[in-house]
């Protein structure tokens, strides 16, 4: 299991092959799509009974590497190098589709990147499992069916009978992910490749999925290639780690890969004077959605009797399970949603209800930073123009607006070249910086941050949080920070509330 | 997974100018024959009269003097096709632009207002969609008489629906998108929102849709001509020429063939441009 | 909605600026001398002397009792004629849509499964050209080749199954070309979905994945698209029915507008709109039934 | 008029003696039939012309411009006739019903109403008959009436045929005639052949009826021969429109609007029982479809073969073409009341500028005849102007020179429902422009154009119009189209001298007297250039060669008769 830090040299790569019991080995893998080489000199071995993590920035080539290992690269891709799987002699990079289809599912299981999307939406869970079983084993339909419940139970799914009959859309994200793992492991392959199996799941679920994988590793001597960008995951489960930077891999034992840089926040960040009046007052807010459907038209309550009041220059953390109502509350605070009960005031001005402030005044009171950095920027305008726009809406001259926008964008860490490009040419982190600048330029009293870093790489999360902290010092804004990551909230917030079953209570 | 989206998006728009350049470099040689042909057509156009009748030379086969042959009145088909290009493409284009503008305005308005106004508009379009285009056009022509203007009004009357639906969908989707919400959150008013945010983002699929609709417009024009509702003789409109020439399909096949080819080629070209603009997915044409 | 259409149909001669009595005389007896006496007599027969709204009210009253009135031209009840024409056109259009959806699905799937290889190129090229071929060229061509030269089916008329071949083919070819492109692009879309990758990762054969997993999702769209085309095809049917001498609804509407036969036009329009709306509802229900259950948002 | 003796059709063996009135055009010999064959030789010219053309096309049209040959042919027809009977019997023996399949351009759209144009289908299908029938010569001959007599200016007495039954089984008698004529007189849109005349009846006895006209009418029997004057069973008139229960050799069994009409032999027919078991008339509005259908042997007879299809249809050895002149002229109706065309010199210039021969032979491929008068050459009385002189163009140009330049720009209108009109108008436009006119062409819908014409808004209106309203007498068209009060006066022409001539016609009884007056009237119109006739239409039927005994008269009244059979 000893591996050197991989360089691009062939000699060291060859040394890797000699390691004990590799169930998946990749040597000098190179993948090119449309003339651009996306993955270069990637070599590593995955040993049976271990979890091998593949980490790296978004777009660095993790997914392509894993796809090369199951022969599912997009049709235009060209490859060189060697991919071997335990039990098959050939270099799999050369074999035809027929051979591959007999290997996939039997020797190597694959779990895709998107938990919700990787199950066929129109087939029941049991159909999808049975199909996988019968492909590689001579089972009749009813024989296969008899195994279904065991397989589902083996991935810790509660109520396997119900899940078997369900369509994927009737399952939560975590359940989908378990089913996907069950399908991948149903024929007892020796290798499991899982591409970000826990992203977009809440912390609890994440934990339990990883436990499940770990259990199968020790039980079945399964070799797992686990792709992730979540540092905590690596810390928790990895036996070995390979880091891909711009398509080039380096492997090491787990450890602190990048020193954690905790944001230097609150230099002068004293909690506000008690004399200061509460800037945000949420009183008895309730919200229910009208359920759509032809059968029942009952109201579905999402939030009940939410009361929070908070002072400027503080950060309020909001945690809760997926679907608990965090975004709903945030949108009510921002005036984007009308509550069914209660009221919201910012700096004494009503945000909701009759007599509420107009659009322009509201923009000075509260702003919103969205979870999706790409989706929240107009793809056809430069960041500079988009950040200047709120000032122009506030009646400032074009020149003044642009000057201030430019300065703020510099402050959040963007250079002139980046801010005059269309946003489609920016990375997620850069886009989120633009989004933050846009929210802050009018110096609002309250800024709602709805999962501002969830979609970003772990390497830039801290930077973004640091920028937010700096800006809070500048503007004395109140932050309402939403995240499903407990650790992040705990670190960043002054007060924490948890949303459980529509009820908000302080932690 | 998000980064997949973004990289895909990036490649599309970034490669735009490069693609264009590569395309031009690749094909500049092809420009030479194209220029020659265009020059020849222009010269031919200036030296011939599309309405010159020669009863002694009816149904002449394609030959050196009459490259595409002559029609039932001995008129030169090449000249008439060139003349028809202005009329047919012009009429179809104007009609299309008008349908696009009317449809887009209504659809955008409905999506913008949302609620019952939107539902009402869509209900109306849903039931108007049930009336065949040709019948709508038939009514319009019977009200306004058979001339090119009436025909265009007819085509417009029949054609704005798909645009209304499409723009309703697109703008509706945009209105719910984070960046439109964000713009509204930052205090941007309707005027600037429409000009800087909604239109630039809705334009592309709408323009693509317009190009994809182009062949349909040509066919509708021609179909109306066939029913005797089109522009009247001696107008050298392709649809009318084709409709009139269909009788000769067996005797003098080139008479319908030439305008027919002109329609097919133009329709094909327009649709190809539309697909190029649209790139990823064909919008479902809502008829 | 239907009311609005019927009122519009009622006003049509006003819009057209047509003297309905003269138009009726012309339709009944083309070159008859239109002297005032005759025109007055016809006006009286058609009850044109009453105010417009009164006439419309009377019409509505009749419709409520299931009486769609008599044709002003033939003075026979329009209902059975419209019904017969609807059955005829319904058969043709229904078959054409069905055929188009079926064939286009196969072609589109084949094209998508062979993206950028020759089957795809051939199918795509053909469909792009055929989209631009008007039905009044296609129909005589089919008559000439299939009926006259090959003698496989009758050249025109209505009655037997063989008579269906030409109109259905003529009407189906355009939609086949269009739908196959839609199916192709939807298939390409679907084939990129993660669950297709999952299916392949299970070791399933590509053929099964394409023809079962991908089509299950991609073909829902074309089914509903097909129903949206019913009205479009009814328009095409006007031309095909004229050329092939078929007594269908398209032709009936066409003739009724040209002859200012208001009751006939009203009834035909009402049927067309009702059918269109019903088909729309049906296709909504169908697509809700067929499309994979969606996650609530 | 007067009794013409026994009816020809009542007895097949008599048919030879009636040859003069029976211009039979059997498709087996594919002869050209013309209304003026027996007594008019002035149409030799036309025949030569046509034949010349036909030889070019290698068609098998026979020449028969003289009576002897005609007689021969009749005899031959008769021979064939007996053969046919054998064939028919054979067919009957083999159990295969003999059904004639006909494709017609114009289907009935008025619910088979007897007073409407639909009557033409009823007559063609051999369903309906009138009291009188029009012979090929244009003269009235007995049908349901055996003889008639003019009792005074306004009263005619008809002796009816006995033993005639309607298709509904009721008997034909004086009462039936009374019911029929009362309906046709009082219906909202009376047939054009009635010309505004009101008829009333007086029953003398079961088989004798008097018809009283509201005004003196010398040609009542002729009027009663027109298609809309068919007599239906009294019970038929209980519904609106009347059910088509006639007395003809065929009875209707099925009718689908816009599709087909099916008839079967009526065994109780008073004359020769039909040879065919029945017939199907299919309504195929598209000319190409009719041609394709007859070529594919889906129909046996088709009308209105388009120019574009003539070659292909004619080349088929199993199909023969039947062509003959129709009493129909496409002409430019000029606004003689207002605008530049009110000046006869301008109309003369138009007349000179138009080259009718180029239109007929060039554009219309010789399938139309150039018109040198409103009335075709088969009408002996009709004046024919000289063909344009060689320097017509120069003369016209010279005339145009003298016209005020403002008056040189004229509008030319026509409508699209007859396909040849738009082409003719296009060529006419070019010909007028060649002599210096500035012509704008408008092709629209007939209805609105007619209305604008009646408002004197037109200059020239190109119209195709029949000049006999279903009967060989021109008085009606002169009255409606050219008198000051005429209901169809598209030329907006008003001339007292002309009106006087027309007024005289109601007093003229003998054909000779009438034709003299027609000639005068037509001459006056020609002298004043009231409109410019362009071409005369011709009927173009096609029939498969196994159809025997087909008779199509120049008024296109009959098609299916007892004598038709399938060989
Ligand atoms: N089908 C494709 N066509 C073209 N380029 C692609 C394709 N798939 C991936 N790429 C490119 O290859 C590079 C590596 O992509 P890959 O999906 O392996 O990244 P990743 O490391 O998995 O990122 P993430 O963490 O976002 O999943 C990216 O730059 C991407 O743009
Ligand atoms: N427009 C809507 N119509 C009906 N129900 C809705 C609507 N929007 C949200 N909901 C429901 O309200 C509940 C709360 O949703 P919300 O988006 O606030 O959750 P969240 O806490 O932000 O979850 P996540 O962490 O997944 O973003 C969910 O159960 C959701 O299904
Ligand atoms: Mg990835
Ligand atoms: Mg949320």
pLDDT, tens digit, 9 for 90 and up, residues C45-72 = 777 777 777 777 777 777 777 777 777 7
Phi, psi of A498 (to 5 degrees): -115, 135
Q: Compute the distance between CA of residue D12 and CA of residue A39 in angstroms, rounded to an integer.
A: 101
- CA-based nearest distance C203→chain D, Å: 57
Cβ contact (<8 Å) for C239 and B267?
no
Strand-pairing partners, residue B162, are none
Q: How far is the CA of A482 from the centre of ligand 4 (A)?
A: 8
Answer for the pair B182, A435: CB distance below 8 angstroms, yes or no. Answer: yes
- Segment among B25-34, C269-278, D160-169, D415-424 with least mean pLDDT: B25-34
B211: number of Cβ within 10 Å: 19
Asked if residue D41 has pLDDT above 50, the reply is: no
* Ligand 1 in reach of A55 Cβ (< 6 A): no
H or E segment at D145? strand D145-152
Is A64 close to ligand 1, i.e. is its CB under 6 Å away? yes
Which D residues 380-439 touch B at CB under 8 Å?
416-417, 419, 422-423, 425-427, 429-430
CB nearest to C277's CB, from B130, B132, B143: B130
Note the ligand closest to the C-alpha atom of A229.
Answer: 1
Do A378 and B185 make contact, defined as CB atoms within 8 angstroms?
no
pLDDT by residue (tens digit) across D197-227? 889 999 999 999 999 998 888 888 888 888 8
Say what the pLDDT of residue B22 is.
Answer: 55
Mean of pLDDT values over B189-195: 83
pLDDT surpasses 50 at D67: no
- Could you count the other beta carbons within 10 Å of the beta carbon of residue C116? 10
Q: Tally the C-alpha atoms within 13 A of residue C149's C-alpha that lie toward its C-beta.
A: 8
**Chains interfacing with D (3 or more CB pairs < 8 Å):** B, C
Instruction: Please report, for residues A295, A351, B245, the alpha-carbon distance to residue B49 in angstroms, rounded to integers and kept in the order given.
Output: 70, 72, 19
Q: Which residue among C131, C228, C275 sits closest to B271, beta carbon to beta carbon?
A: C131
C147 touches chain D (CB under 8 A): yes
Q: Tell me which of B62-71, C248-257, D361-370, D524-533 is least confident.
A: B62-71
pLDDT exceeds 60 at position D429: yes
Contact check, Cβ <8 Å, B131/C231: yes
Higher pLDDT: B30 or C83? It is C83
Q: Report the residue from C2, C228, C279 with minimal CB separation from B286.
A: C228
Whether C107 contacts C115, CB under 8 Å: no
> Residue range D230-241: average pLDDT?
88
Asked whether the beta carbons of B234 and B49 are under 8 A apart, the reply is no
Q: Percent of chain C at pLDDT above 70?
A: 96
Tell me how close the Cα of C219 comes to any Cα of chain A, in angstroms.
12
The answer to whether the CB of A3 falls within 8 A of the CB of A212 is no
Please give the Cα distance from A65 to A85 (Å, whole number): 14
Interval between CA A53 and ligand 1 midpoint (Å): 18
CA distance A257 to C28: 94
- Residue D264 has a pLDDT of 93
Structure tokens at B208: 């693509």
Neighbours of B129 (CB within 10 A): 23
Determine the distance separating the centroid of ligand 1 and the alpha carbon of A61, expressed in angstroms.
Answer: 5
Candidates B192, B239, B197; CA nearest to B218 is: B239
Contacts of D444 in chain B (CB under 8 A): 145-147, 232
Is the pLDDT at D44 greater than 80, yes or no? no
pLDDT recorded at residue D157 = 94
Check if B181 contacts A (Cβ < 8 Å).
yes
Tell me the Cα Rg of chain A: 26
Distances in Å between the Cα of C279 and the Cα atoms of B163, C5, C79 are 21, 18, 21
Q: What single string gives the DSSP state of each residue in A84-106?
A: EETT--S-GGG--HHHHHHHBTT
Q: Is the CB of A32 under 6 A from ligand 1?
A: no
Whether chains C and A touch (3+ CB pairs under 8 A) is answered by: yes
Please, which residues 177-196 of chain A have a Cβ atom closer than 8 Å to chain C?
180, 183-184, 187
- Ligand 4 center to A332 CA (angstroms): 13
Q: Which residue owns the Cα nearest ligand 2 atom 7?
A: C297
pLDDT of B250 > 50? The answer is yes
Mean pLDDT over residues D246-268, rounded?
90
The tens digit of pLDDT for each residue in D74-93 reads 343 334 444 444 444 444 45
Q: Which of D210, D194, D199, D211 is nearest to D475 (CA)?
A: D194
Asked if C76 is an interface residue toward chain D (Cβ–Cβ < 8 A), one would say: yes
**Atom number of ligand 2 nearest to Cα A320:** 21
Mean local confidence (pLDDT), D32-36: 38
Whole-structure pTM value? 0.75
Q: What was the ipTM of the complex prediction?
A: 0.71
Q: Are D319 and D545 in contact (CB under 8 A)?
A: yes
> What's the whole-number average pLDDT of chain C?
81
Facing residues of A285 across strands? Answer: A306
Q: Which residues 6+ apart lie within 8 Å of C40 measured at CB?
A: C21
- What token pair was written down for A401? 């607006």
User: What's the pLDDT band for D302 if we cut at 50, 70, 90?
Assistant: very high
* CA of D245 relative to ligand 1 center, distance in Å: 83
Burial class (CB in 10 A: 0-12, 13-18, 19+), D186: exposed
CA distance C169 to C100: 9
Q: What is the pLDDT of residue A257?
A: 35
D284 touches chain C (CB under 8 A): yes
What percentage of residues in chain B have a pLDDT greater than 70?
81
CA of B45 to the centre of ligand 1 (A): 54
Mutating to test ligand 1, I would choose from B4, B9, B13, B280 the residue with most ligand atoms within 8 A of its C-beta, which is B4
pLDDT at position C3 over 80: no
- Residue A93 in contact with residue A27, Cβ under 8 Å? no
The pLDDT score that the predictor gives to residue A280 is 87
Task: For residue A244, give both structure tokens.
Answer: 């891909």
Mean pLDDT value across residues D551-564 = 84
What is the longest distance spanned by two Cα atoms in chain C? Answer: 86
Long-range Cβ contacts of D493-496 (<8 Å, 24+ apart): D493/D336, D493/D337, D493/D525, D493/D528, D493/D530, D494/D336, D494/D337, D495/D524, D495/D528
* More confident call, B131 vs D107: D107
Q: What is the pLDDT of residue A376?
A: 84
- Place D26 in a pLDDT band, splitting at 50, 70 and 90: very low
User: Which of B127, B138, B284 comes nearest C1 by C-beta?
Assistant: B127
Give D326's Cβ-side CA count (13 Å radius). 24
- Chain B partners within 8 Å of D426 (Cβ): 53, 73, 233-234
Between chain A and chain D, are at least 3 CB pairs below 8 A? Answer: no
Contacts of D311 (CB under 8 A, 6+ apart): B251, D57
pLDDT score, position B13: 36
Ligand 2 close to Cβ of residue A322 (< 6 A): yes
Average pLDDT over all residues of chain B:
73
CA distance C46 to chain D (A): 10
D546 within 8 A of D533, measured Cβ to Cβ:
no
Can you give the pLDDT at residue D94? 56
Q: What is the 3-state secondary structure (H, E, C) of A373-404?
A: CCCCCCCCCCHHHHHHHHHHHCCCCHHHHHHH
Within 10 A of D417 (CB to CB), how many other CB atoms are there?
A: 13
Counting as contact any 3 or more CB pairs under 8 A, the partners of A are B, C
Q: Please tell me which of the candidates B13, B14, B182 has its beta carbon nearest to residue A368.
A: B182
Q: Are D518 and D478 in contact (CB under 8 A)?
A: yes
Write the residue in B55, B56, B247 that is nearest to D308 by C-beta: B247
**Model confidence over A257-278: pLDDT tens digits?**
332 223 333 333 444 444 456 7
| Ligand with minimal distance to A40 CA | 1
Whether residue B227 and residue C132 make contact (CB cut-off 8 A), yes or no, is no
The pLDDT score that the predictor gives to residue B30 is 63
Q: Give the burial string for D331-359 (b: 16+ CB within 10 Å, else e).
A: bbbbbbeebbbbbeebbbbbbbbbbbebb
* A121 and chain C in contact, CB less than 8 A: yes
Who contacts C257 (Cβ-Cβ below 8 Å, separation ≥6)? B135, B138, B139, B142, C12, C265
pLDDT value, residue D58: 39
Give me the helices (H) in D319-445, please: 344-353, 356-357, 392-402, 419-434
Best A108, A121, A170, A290 member to test C by mutation, with max C CBs in 10 Å, is: A121
Contacts of A96 in chain C (CB under 8 A): none
Considering CB atoms only, which of C193, C200, C216 is closest to A72?
Answer: C200
CA distance C223 to C183: 10
String of DSSP letters for A70-88: HT---TTEEEEEEEEETT-
Nearest-CA distance from A358 to chain B in Å?
9
Query: What's the A386 CA to ligand 3 centre distance in angstroms?
Result: 29
| Distance between Cα A502 and ligand 2 center (Å) | 10
Residue ranges of chain A whose pLDDT lies below 70: 1-21, 58-59, 115, 199-202, 246-277, 290-298, 322-323, 425, 455, 457-459
Owner of token pair 């698209």: C225
- Mark out the alpha helices in chain C (DSSP H runs): 2-16, 20-28, 36-46, 52-64, 78-113, 118-131, 135-142, 161-191, 194-201, 206-208, 215-228, 230-244, 249-259, 262-290
Collect all residues of chain D within an 8 Å Cβ-Cβ radius of residue C37: 196
How far A121 CA lies from chain C's nearest CA (Å)?
A: 5
The two three-digit tokens of residue A367, written as one number: 């702003």
Residues linked to residue A25 through DSSP beta bridges, in sequence order: A45, A84
As a whole number of Å, the CA-based R_g of chain D is 24
The residues in C 1-60 lying below 8 A from D, measured between CB atoms, are 17-19, 22-35, 37-38, 41-42, 44-45
pLDDT for res C110: 92
């Amino acid at each position: 299991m000893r591996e050197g830090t991989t360089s691009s040299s062939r000699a060291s790569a060859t040394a890797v092959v000699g390691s004990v019991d590799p169930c998946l080995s990749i040597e000098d893998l190179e993948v090119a799509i449309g003339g651009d080489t996306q993955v270069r000199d990637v070599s590593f071995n995955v040993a049976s009974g271990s979890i091998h993590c593949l980490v790296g920035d978004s777009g660095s080539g993790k997914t392509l590497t894993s796809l090369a290992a199951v022969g599912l690269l997009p049709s235009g891709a060209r490859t060189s190098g060697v991919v071997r799987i335990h039990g098959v002699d050939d270099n799999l990079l050369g074999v035809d589709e027929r051979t591959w289809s007999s290997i996939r599912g039997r020797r190597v299981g694959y779990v895709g990147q998107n938990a919700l999307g990787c199950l066929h939406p129109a087939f029941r869970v049991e159909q999808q499992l049975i199909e996988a079983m019968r492909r590689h084993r001579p089972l009749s339909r009813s024989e296969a069916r008899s195994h279904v419940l065991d397989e589902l139970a083996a991935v810790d799914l509660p109520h396997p009978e119900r899940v078997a009959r369900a369509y994927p859309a009737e399952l939560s994200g975590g359940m989908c992910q378990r089913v996907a793992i069950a399908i991948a492991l149903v024929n007892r392959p020796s290798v499991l490749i899982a591409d970000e199996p826990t992203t977009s799941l809440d912390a609890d679920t994440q934990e339990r999925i990883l436990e499940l994988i770990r259990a199968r590793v020790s039980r079945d001597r399964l070799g797992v290639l686990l792709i992730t960008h979540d540092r905590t995951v690596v810390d928790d489960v990895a036996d070995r780690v390979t880091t891909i930077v711009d398509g080039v891999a380096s492997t090491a034992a787990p450890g602190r890969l990048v020193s954690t840089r905790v944001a230097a926040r609150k230099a002068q960040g004293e909690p506000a004077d008690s004399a200061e009046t509460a800037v945000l007052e949420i009183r008895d807010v309730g919200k229910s959605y009208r359920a759509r459907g032809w059968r029942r038209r009952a109201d579905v309550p999402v939030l009940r009797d939410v009361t929070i009041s908070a002072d400027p220059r503080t950060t309020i953390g909001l945690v809760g399970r997926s679907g608990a109502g965090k975004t709903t509350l945030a949108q009510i605070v921002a005036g984007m949603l009308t509550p069914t009960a209660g009221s919201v005031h910012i700096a004494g001005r009503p945000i909701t209800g009759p007599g509420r402030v107009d659009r322009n005044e509201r923009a000075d009171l509260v702003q919103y930073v969205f979870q999706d950095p790409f989706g929240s920027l107009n793809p056809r305008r430069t960041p500079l123009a988009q950040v200047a726009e709120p000032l122009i809406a506030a009646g400032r001259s074009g020149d003044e607006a642009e000057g201030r926008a430019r300065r703020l964008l510099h402050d959040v860490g963007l250079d002139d070249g980046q801010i005059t490009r269309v946003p489609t040419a920016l990375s997620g982190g850069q886009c989120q910086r633009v989004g933050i600048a846009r929210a802050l330029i009018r110096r609002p009293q309250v800024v709602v941050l709805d999962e501002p870093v969830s979609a970003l790489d772990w390497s830039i999360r801290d930077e973004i949080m640091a920028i937010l902290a700096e800006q809070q010092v500048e503007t004395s804004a109140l932050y309402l920070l939403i995240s499903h990551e407990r650790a992040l909230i705990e670190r960043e917030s002054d007060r924490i509330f948890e949303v459980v079953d529509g009820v908000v209570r302080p932690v | 997974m998000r980064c997949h989206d973004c990289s895909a998006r990036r490649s599309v728009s970034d490669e735009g100018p490069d693609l264009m350049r590569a395309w031009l470099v690749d094909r500049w040689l092809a420009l030479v024959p194209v220029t020659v042909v265009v020059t020849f057509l222009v010269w031919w156009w200036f030296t011939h009269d599309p309405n010159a009748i020669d009863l002694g030379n009816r149904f002449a086969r394609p030959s050196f003097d009459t490259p595409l042959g002559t029609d039932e009145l001995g008129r030169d088909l090449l000249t008439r096709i060139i003349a028809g290009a202005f009329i047919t493409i012009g009429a179809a284009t104007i009609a299309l632009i008008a349908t696009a503008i009317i449809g887009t305005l209504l659809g955008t308005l409905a999506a913008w207002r949302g609620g019952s106004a939107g539902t009402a508009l869509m209900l109306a379009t849903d039931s108007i969609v049930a009336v065949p285009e040709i019948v709508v056009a038939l009514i319009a022509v019977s009200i306004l008489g058979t001339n090119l203007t009436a025909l265009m009004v007819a085509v417009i009357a029949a054609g704005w629906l798909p645009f209304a639906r499409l723009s309703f969908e697109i703008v509706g989707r945009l209105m719910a998108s984070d960046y439109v919400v964000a713009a509204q959150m930052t205090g941007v008013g309707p005027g600037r929102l429409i000009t800087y945010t909604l239109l630039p983002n809705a334009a592309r699929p709408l323009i693509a849709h317009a190009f994809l609709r182009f062949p349909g417009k040509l066919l509708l024009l021609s179909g109306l001509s066939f029913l005797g509702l089109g522009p009247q003789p001696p107008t050298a409109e392709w649809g009318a020429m084709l409709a009139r020439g269909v009788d000769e399909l067996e005797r003098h096949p080139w008479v319908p063939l030439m305008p027919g080819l002109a329609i097919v080629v133009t329709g094909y070209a327009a649709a190809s441009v539309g697909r190029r603009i649209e790139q990823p997915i064909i919008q479902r044409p809502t008829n | 909605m239907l009311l609005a259409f019927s009122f519009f149909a009622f006003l049509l001669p006003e819009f057209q600026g047509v003297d309905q009595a003269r138009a009726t005389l012309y339709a009944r007896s083309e070159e008859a001398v239109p002297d005032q006496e005759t025109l007055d007599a016809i006006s009286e027969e058609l009850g044109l002397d009453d105010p417009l709204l009164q006439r419309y009210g009377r019409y509505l009253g009749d419709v409520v009792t299931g009486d769609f009135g008599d044709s002003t031209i033939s003075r026979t009840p329009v209902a059975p004629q419209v019904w017969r024409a609807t059955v005829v056109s319904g058969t043709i259009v229904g078959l054409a849509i069905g055929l188009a959806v079926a064939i286009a699905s196969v072609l589109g799937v084949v094209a998508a499964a062979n993206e950028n290889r020759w089957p795809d190129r051939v199918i795509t090229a053909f469909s792009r050209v055929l989209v631009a071929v008007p039905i009044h060229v296609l129909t005589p061509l089919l008559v000439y080749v299939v009926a006259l030269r090959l003698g496989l089916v009758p050249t025109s008329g209505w009655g037997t199954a063989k008579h269906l071949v030409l109109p259905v083919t003529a009407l189906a070819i355009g939609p086949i070309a269009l739908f196959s492109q839609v199916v192709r692009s939807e298939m390409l879309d679907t084939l990129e979905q993660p669950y297709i990758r999952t299916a392949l990762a299970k070791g399933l054969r590509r053929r099964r994945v394409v023809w079962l997993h991908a089509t299950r999702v991609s073909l829902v769209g074309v089914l509903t698209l097909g129903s949206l085309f019913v009205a479009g095809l009814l328009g095409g049917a006007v031309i095909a029915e004229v050329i092939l001498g078929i007594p269908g609804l398209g032709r009936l509407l066409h003739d009724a507008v040209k002859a200012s036969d208001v009751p006939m036009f009203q009834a035909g329009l009402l049927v067309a709109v009702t059918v269109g709306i019903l088909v729309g509802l049906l296709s909504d229900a169908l697509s809700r039934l067929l499309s994979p259950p969606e996650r609530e948002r | 008029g007067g009794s013409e003796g026994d009816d020809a059709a009542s007895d097949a063996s008599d048919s030879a003696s009636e040859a003069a009135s029976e211009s039979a055009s059997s498709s087996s010999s594919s002869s050209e039939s013309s209304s003026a064959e027996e007594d008019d030789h002035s149409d030799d010219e036309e025949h030569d012309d046509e034949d010349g053309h036909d030889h070019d096309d290698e068609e098998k049209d026979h020449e028969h411009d003289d009576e002897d040959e005609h007689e021969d042919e009749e005899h031959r027809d008769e021979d064939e006739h007996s053969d046919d009977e054998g064939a028919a019997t054979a067919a009957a023996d083999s159990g295969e019903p003999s059904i004639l399949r006909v494709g017609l351009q114009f289907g009935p759209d008025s619910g088979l109403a007897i007073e409407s144009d639909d009557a033409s289908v009823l007559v063609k299908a051999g369903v309906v008959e009138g009291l009188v029938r029009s012979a090929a010569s244009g003269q009235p001959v007995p049908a349901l009436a055996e003889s008639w007599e003019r009792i005074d200016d306004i009263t005619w007495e008809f002796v009816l045929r006995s033993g005639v039954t309607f298709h509904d089984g009721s008997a034909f008698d004086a009462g039936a005639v009374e019911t029929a004529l009362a309906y046709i007189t009082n219906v909202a849109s009376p047939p054009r052949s009635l010309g505004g005349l009101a008829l009333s009846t007086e029953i003398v006895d079961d088989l004798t009826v008097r018809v009283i006209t509201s005004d003196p009418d010398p040609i009542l029997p002729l009027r009663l021969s027109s298609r809309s004057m068919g007599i239906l069973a009294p019970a038929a008139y209980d519904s609106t429109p009347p059910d088509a229960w006639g007395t003809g050799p065929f009875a209707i069994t099925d009718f689908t609007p816009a599709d087909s009409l099916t008839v079967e032999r009526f065994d109780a027919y008073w004359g020769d029982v039909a040879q065919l078991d029945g017939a199907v008339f299919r309504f195929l509005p598209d000319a190409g479809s009719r041609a394709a259908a007859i070529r594919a042997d889906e129909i046996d007879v088709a009308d209105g073969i388009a120019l574009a299809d003539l070659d292909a249809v004619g080349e088929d050895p199993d199909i023969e073409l039947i062509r003959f002149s129709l009493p129909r002229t496409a002409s430019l109706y000029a606004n003689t009341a207002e605008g530049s065309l009110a000046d006869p010199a301008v109309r003369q210039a138009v007349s000179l500028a138009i080259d009718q021969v180029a239109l007929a032979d060039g554009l219309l491929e010789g399938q139309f005849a150039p018109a040198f008068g409103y009335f075709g050459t088969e009408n002996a009385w009709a004046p024919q102007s000289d063909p344009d002189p060689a320097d017509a163009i120069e003369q016209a140009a010279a005339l145009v020179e003298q016209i005020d330049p403002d008056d040189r720009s004229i509008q030319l209108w026509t409508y699209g429902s007859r396909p040849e009109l738009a082409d003719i108008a296009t060529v006419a436009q070019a010909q007028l422009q060649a002599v210096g006119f500035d012509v704008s062409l408008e092709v629209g819908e007939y209805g609105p154009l007619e209305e604008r014409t009646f408002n004197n808004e037109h200059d020239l209106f190109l119209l195709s119009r029949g000049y006999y309203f279903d009967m060989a007498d021109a008085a009606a068209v002169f009255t409606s189209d050219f008198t000051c009060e005429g209901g169809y006066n598209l030329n907006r022409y008003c001339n007292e001298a002309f009106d006087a001539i027309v007024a005289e016609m109601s007093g003229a009884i003998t054909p000779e007297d009438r034709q003299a007056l027609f000639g005068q009237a037509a001459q006056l119109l020609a002298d004043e250039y009231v409109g410019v006739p362009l071409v005369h239409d011709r009927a173009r039927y096609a029939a498969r060669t196994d159809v025997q005994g087909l008779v199509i008269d120049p008024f296109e009244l009959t098609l299916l008769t007892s004598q038709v059979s399938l060989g």
